[in-house]
Amino acid sequence: MAEAFLVDGVRTPIGRFRGALAGVRPDDLAALVLEAVVSRSGVDPAQLDDVIFGAANQAGEDNRNVARMAGLLAGFPDSVPGITVNRLCASGLSAVHLASSMVKSGEADLVIAGGVESMTRAPWVLAKPETAFSKPGEIADTSIGWRFANPRFAERDKATLSMPETAEEVADREGISREDADAFALRSHQAAVSAGESGTFAPEIVSVPTRSGTVSDDEGPRADTSLDVLAGLRSVVRPGGVVTAGNSSSLNDGAAAVLVASESAVNRLGLRPRARIVGGASAGVAPEVMGLGPVPATQKLLARQGLGIDEVDAVELNEAFATQSLASIRLLGLDPEIVNRNGGTIALGHPLGASGTRILITLLGRMEREDARRGLATMCVGVGQGASLIVERV
């Protein structure tokens, strides 16, 4: 089978909900990173075989195949197709995995993969009445979570728990304490603040022009948080519970993209790949413990590649919640010191469709700075899934 290489990657800053990127449409955010990744790599867009973008919402301005829309907005030739995929939180990571599979099978040479989400601009949606002259149906905020759930799911206990409820379920099952969760969240913020101040993220970020000025930095990391501040936040699921707004990821806006190339394209175009995509895998878990998804996905991937967890040098684990992150680290036997060394999603933010590509881009930068050979990007997925991807530096 042919090899697939990551040539370059770029992301926008991550904006807070109703924050600095609130005025920017998701298709424009996606177009911006598409333009940036071809500019950085020097590839002629006309040579692209496809654009694959992940998006979890797809109910508003990101509807009607945002990958295709963004390609047109980026000025790509009409001949470059696009497809949008949805694996909720792992949409951006699955987009890269699909692109690599196309390249490895010989059905593509150059594919841009990525993801986008504007949770700020996600619309309210209204169900159509089932009969004429009926009152309006159910109304739902599409920013996150279940909407218009099939009543048959009621037959399965806990199937439609909210995301915080699933995180509390993991805390109960795996014995994660409030103190452990808050300490993990504090580490995420401290590491992300340090990375931002030192310019660690600067090479992976493309600035976003807005009506209020240019946005170049992530909005989420909080330099003023502390264990006392985090301990003072109330539990969001039940009194005395573990999960709080402070040890959970937030609602965010952003986009990210990478260029995936075959070996023949690398040689023909004189490209300089940053890593080889070793492989990817996805797995399912019970919906009520969706946060444990990284465990079977990573175990499946390691087994398929004949690798041990000790052969992974750097890990970017999407921090949907501190509880599921800690549980996944423990169950996989990961060294916490190699996980999210520059902070994670709790601090940086979680624009759903973009996060999988974002953690992969951050992983590439870490591997180069740390002279790491092999890296793992992994994340949990709502409704009970996990996705993982392993890359090697070249």
Residue 225: C-alpha distances to residues 152, 179, 246, 360, 365 (Å): 43, 15, 9, 27, 26
Selecting among 312, 359, 380, 389, the annotated active-site residue is 380
> Treating both helix axes as pointing N-terminal to C-terminal, what angle do 322-332 and 163-174 enclose, rounded to 10 degrees?
40
Active site residue 189: no
Q: Which residue has the tokens 């990127």?
A: 21
Strand partners, 224: none
Q: Pick the catalytic residue: 350, 358, 366, 393?
A: 350
Spatial contact of 254 and 12, defined as CB atoms under 8 Å apart: yes
Catalytic residue (choose from 38, 80, 89, 230): 89
Report which residue type is found at 135: K
Question: Comparing C-alpha atoms, which of 76, 70, 169, 160 is closest to residue 116?
Answer: 70
Alpha-carbon Rg for the chain, nearest whole angstrom, is 20
Cα–chain center distance at 317: 10
Q: Is 380 a catalytic residue?
A: yes
377's tokens: 């990007």
Alpha carbon distance 257, 114 (integer Å): 4
Gap between the Cα atoms of 277 and 104, Å rounded: 10
Among all residues, which ones are annotated catalytic? 89, 350, 380
